[in-house]
């Protein structure tokens, strides 16, 4: 179980992250986060990053990480990420 200081630290990070523009969020992810991998949806490549307990999906223009981000989807916690990905997987059939 996370300590109060760890929880508070994460809440501050999440608040700070949400205040950034999409471009700055992606730059922050690239510098401080960990790229977990990619998945395909409707012919598009979606990149998944982890920043502590925050998981972020990023879709880039032309599916190229060097191009501008088109959209982000944020999920808090591994349990939420797993549930979301399971739901996405089931709807893909």
pLDDT tens digits, 9-35? 888 989 999 999 999 999 999 999 999
Q: What pTM does this model have?
A: 0.86
Residue 82's domain spans which residues? 4-91
Using an 8 Å Cβ cutoff, are 50 and 34 in contact? yes
Cα–Cα dist 88/84, whole Å: 6
Task: Specify the CATH number for the domain of residue 17.
Answer: 3.30.67
Radius of gyration of the chain (CA): 14
In 3D space, the residue among 61, 67, 69, 11 whose CA is nearest the CA of residue 49 turns out to be: 69
pLDDT tens digits, 41-86? 999 999 999 999 999 999 999 999 999 999 999 999 999 999 999 9
* Total tally of structural domains belonging to the chain: 1
The residues pairing with 35 across neighbouring beta strands, listed in sequence order, are 49
């Amino acid at each position: 179980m996370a300590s109060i200081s760890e929880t508070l630290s994460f809440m501050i990070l999440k608040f700070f992250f949400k205040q950034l523009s999409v471009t700055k969020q992606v730059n922050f992810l690239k510098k401080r986060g960990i790229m977990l991998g990619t998945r395909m949806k409707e012919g598009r490549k979606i990149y998944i990053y982890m920043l502590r307990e925050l998981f972020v999906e990023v879709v880039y223009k032309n599916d190229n990480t060097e191009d501008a981000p088109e959209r982000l989807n944020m999920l808090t916690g591994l349990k939420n990420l797993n549930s979301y990905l399971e739901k996405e997987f089931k709807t893909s059939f």
